Amino acid sequence: MKYKNLREEYRQFELRDEDVLDNPFAQFEQWFDDALKQNPTDTNAMVLSTVSNDGWPQGRVVLLKEVDHGFVWFTNYGSGKGQDLAHSPKAAVTFWWPGTARQVRVTGTVEKVSEKESDEYFQSRPRNSQAGAIASHQSSRILGRESLENRYEALIALPETTTFQRPENWGGYRLIPHSFEFWQGRESRLHDRILFTKDGTTNWKKERLSP
């Protein structure tokens, strides 16, 4: 199949140099809020890109849960992405917000969040999500869905007073950025691209890239 006729001209927004904030975290927060106002559905969805032990790039969508000095998400440490990050703790996350025709790419190094942070987030989750995290041995092969559902149903059947504890192999990661790229779709494919990189100190260097 060919998709060459699927085109969109981006005319709604622009990214002028004088409007770009000096701090990329602040710029991200501004764009995130704009996207949230346009369409709140999965605004925090991001493509997490890693590299496997055999050198193959891997991508999947995860949900951003917090931005502090990094970008935080939660998952099973034994999953494919967890194994990738154990091998190479470098990754990228990509956000795409079609309502504003904006993309943000962030690359950096990844570390696990503290056990306290993981415990607090796990206990904040709905009970069925907690049970799902315990029941699923993420990325491992299973013979069929029935065995997964049976483990889940056995957990849900426990008394409501039962407190589920976070599995040791489940928790959070934090990507510490060393670069941000803000991409604004423009007409005739003359897109705006602003790159932030660390200049060797705590400061960020800002420059415009050709589309």
Q: What is the pLDDT of residues 55-79, one digit of tens each?
A: 999 999 999 999 999 999 999 999 9
Confidence of residue 200 (pLDDT cuts 50, 70, 90): confident
Residue 145 lies in a domain: no
Residue 136 lies in a domain: no
1 pLDDT exceeds 90? no
Cβ atoms of 96 and 44 within 8 Å: the answer is no
Domain that holds residue 38: 17-124+169-209
Q: What is the pLDDT of residue 198?
A: 87
- Residue 145 or 74, more confident: 74
Residue 10 lies in a domain: no
- Residue 81 or 11, more confident: 81
Q: How many domains does the chain have?
A: 1
- Residue 109 or 145, more confident: 109
Q: Give the pTM.
A: 0.92
Residue 97 lies in a domain: yes
96 pLDDT exceeds 90? yes
Confidence of residue 111 (pLDDT cuts 50, 70, 90): very high
Confidence of residue 148 (pLDDT cuts 50, 70, 90): confident
Confidence of residue 28 (pLDDT cuts 50, 70, 90): very high
Signed CA dihedral, 64, 67, 80, 153: sign only: negative
* CATH of residue 174: 2.30.110.10
Residue 132 lies in a domain: no
Q: Could you give the residue numbers annotated as active site?
A: 189
Q: What is the pLDDT of residue 82?
A: 96
4 pLDDT exceeds 80? no
Residue 31 lies in a domain: yes
What is the distance of C-alpha 27 from the center of its chain?
17
Structure tokens at 43: 């605004």
Residue 1 lies in a domain: no
28: Cβ contacts below 8 Å, ≥ 6 apart: 67, 104, 106, 180, 182
Residue 203 lies in a domain: yes
